[in-house]
């Protein structure tokens, strides 16, 4: 029907005798553009447990019908771990996992768009190995010099060392200081230490 409005379809039926039915009007929205979707930045390293994936999706013409959160490991295909109409989801991450994430948004016309993390997220749920080589010696004035061999965490690396002093063996005692992982020595200034005392 040449007189119909743009975006409106008019359908009539005619029988063999020439009788025409009343018109049926259907409004049609033509949407050829995919939705816009933005994935919020994700940390590169997380403690094992859960990561919160957040995104924004919009489509001004036909609306966003659903979003799918997908994950993949190195050498695997994308697998869907969430499908719905929300804008965030919490995803489990196990110790040692290295995972990429993406969000696929689909509009009411079936058009899809995706946004994905450019870097993987690594999950670390295990502590670094213990310090195995530690030497301590008294300095003049009561200070104690500690030196140790470096320790490397296989998943996330070692960030820092913490030094504790205890009066009883087997007790963790009190924290006396911390140093960055590039440093493998520490001087305890001996505050509060008794002359002739034993410390661990």
Q: What percent of the chain has pLDDT over 70?
A: 96
**pLDDT single digits (tens) 164-183:** 999 899 899 999 999 999 99
* 106 has a pLDDT exceeding 80: yes
191 vs 173 pLDDT, higher one: 173
pLDDT, average across residues 116-130: 93
Helix (H) or strand (E) holding 10: strand 8-11
Q: Cα–Cα distance between 8 and 10 in angstroms, integer?
A: 7
102 and 78 Cβ atoms separated by less than 8 Å:
yes
Helix (H) or strand (E) holding 194: none
- What burial letters (b/e) apply to 25-36, b meaning 16+ CB within 10 Å? eeeeeebeebbe
How many other CB atoms are found less than 10 A from the CB of residue 37?
A: 22
What pLDDT, on a 0 to 100 scale, did the predictor assign at position 160? 96
């Amino acid at each position: 029907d040449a007189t119909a409005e743009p975006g409106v379809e008019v359908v009539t039926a005619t029988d063999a005798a020439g009788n025409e039915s009343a018109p049926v009007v259907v409004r049609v929205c033509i949407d050829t553009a995919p939705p816009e979707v933005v994935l919020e930045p994700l940390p590169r390293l997380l403690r094992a447990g859960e990561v919160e994936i957040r995104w924004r999706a919009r489509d001004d013409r036909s609306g966003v019908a659903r979003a799918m959160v997908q994950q993949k490991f190195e050498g695997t295909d994308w697998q869907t771990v969430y499908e719905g109409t929300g804008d965030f989801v919490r995803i489990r991450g196990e110790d040692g996992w290295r995972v990429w994430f993406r969000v696929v948004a689909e509009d009411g016309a079936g058009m899809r768009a995706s946004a994905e993390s450019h870097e993987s997220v690594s999950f670390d749920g295990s502590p670094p190995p213990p310090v195995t080589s530690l030497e301590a010696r008294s300095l003049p004035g009561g200070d104690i010099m500690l030196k140790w061999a470096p320790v490397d965490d296989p998943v996330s690396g070692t960030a820092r060392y913490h030094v504790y002093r205890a009066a009883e063996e087997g007790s963790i005692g009190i924290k006396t200081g911390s140093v960055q992982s590039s440093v493998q020595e520490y001087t305890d200034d001996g505050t509060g230490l008794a002359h002739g005392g034993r410390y661990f």
